[in-house]
Amino acid sequence: MGWLEDNVMIVTGGGSGLGRALVERFLGEGARVGVLEKSAEKAEKLANDFGEDVLVVEGDVRKYDDNARVVQETVRQFGRLDTFVANAAIWDFSTKMVDIPVDRLDALFDEMFHINVKGYLHGARAAVEELAATGGSIIYTVSNAGFYPGGGGPLYTASKHAVVGLIKELAFELGPKIRVNGVAPGAMPTDLRGPGSLGMGETTITSVPLGDLVKQCTVLQELPEAADYTGHYVLLASKANSRTATGAIINCDGGMGVRGLAETAGGNDL
């Protein structure tokens, strides 16, 4: 018996990386899943790979109507909604403030905040009535960049700090019927893209030496796969196991915040 037996989940950006790993894990835990995904190619692959237990809507998290459509179609197909996972985002490849061309700043700000922040707000707004009906929850994908500098440039870091603010505010506003929590993963090799406004729409995070960075910046030192983060979402979504959790964020970045100042983490013979 899975932890999410008979639950119905929605995942935004379920076409690759962490989102796709969540779809697979939720199915394995007994749930059915709706997905909102912008890439037509990834949406088609999801539909082909998973069949009738996954409902795929092609659309853009920046549009309220697309968020509303995935909620309506998921509830029409599966009868209810228990958890909305807002997860789709882009990264700024740690582009520092002084390296952002001044004439690109407006477009970059809008692109980053419209996807990473407004998309999350639209998702919550579109889902609240259905979630209230089931005593459900919202889970936001944050990042180490929601807590520490240097995991992005100013715009990615600010967008993920904004997500932390949304979690706290919405947990306050939507209780007692709806719980609102977050998962803050660290690095993983995925298809995470950059902003089109900086000409990075086709650049993926796998072009960065993530294994070396993780070794330097974390206590656990190993680069995880997306699937390694999915258990945290299962825990927070589970009504039986997370009844008391709202406004909580699971930091699962390999111990970035307890890395300390020593040359190497650990530093003993264990």
Ligand X SMILES: NC(=O)c1ccc[n+]([C@@H]2O[C@H](COP(=O)([O-])OP(=O)(O)OC[C@H]3O[C@@H](n4cnc5c(N)ncnc54)[C@H](O)[C@@H]3O)[C@@H](O)[C@H]2O)c1
Q: Which residues bind ligand X (CB under 6 A)?
A: 12-13, 15-19, 36-39, 42, 60-62, 87-90, 115, 141, 143, 185-188, 190-193, 205, 226
Question: What's the CA gap between 156 and 161, in Å, rounded?
Answer: 9
Cβ nearer to ligand X, comparing 133 with 248: 248
Q: How far is the CB of 240 from ligand X (least distance, A)?
A: 26
SS3 of the chain: CCCCCCCEEEEECCCCHHHHHHHHHHHHCCCEEEEEECCHHHHHHHHHHHHHHEEEEECCCCCHHHHHHHHHHHHHHHCCCCEEEECCCCCCCCCCHHHCCHHHHHHHHHHHHHHHHHHHHHHHHHHHHHHHHHCCEEEEECCHHHCCCCCCCHHHHHHHHHHHHHHHHHHHHHCCCCEEEEEEECCCCCCCECCHHHCCCCCEHHHCCHHHHHHHHCCCCCCCCHHHHHHHHHHHHCCCCCCCCCCCEEEECCCHHHCCCCCCCCCCCC
Cβ nearer to ligand X, comparing 25 with 38: 38
Which of the following is catalytic: 120, 140, 148, 156? Answer: 156
Q: How far is the CB of 219 from ligand X (least distance, A)?
A: 17
Q: How far is the CB of 201 from ligand X (least distance, A)?
A: 10
Cβ nearer to ligand X, comparing 15 with 136: 15
Cβ nearer to ligand X, comparing 134 with 152: 152
Pair 143, 187: CB distance under 8 Å = no
Q: How far is the CB of 6 from ligand X (least distance, A)?
A: 26
Question: What's the CA gap between 238 and 136, in Å, rounded?
Answer: 9
Cβ nearer to ligand X, comparing 10 with 134: 10
Q: How far is the CB of 244 from ligand X (least distance, A)?
A: 25
Pair 42, 15: CB distance under 8 Å = yes
Q: How far is the CB of 191 from ligand X (least distance, A)?
A: 4
State yes or no: is 156 an active-site residue.
Answer: yes
Residue, CB closest to ligand X: 17
Cβ nearer to ligand X, comparing 13 with 136: 13
Q: Provide the annotated active-site residues.
A: 156
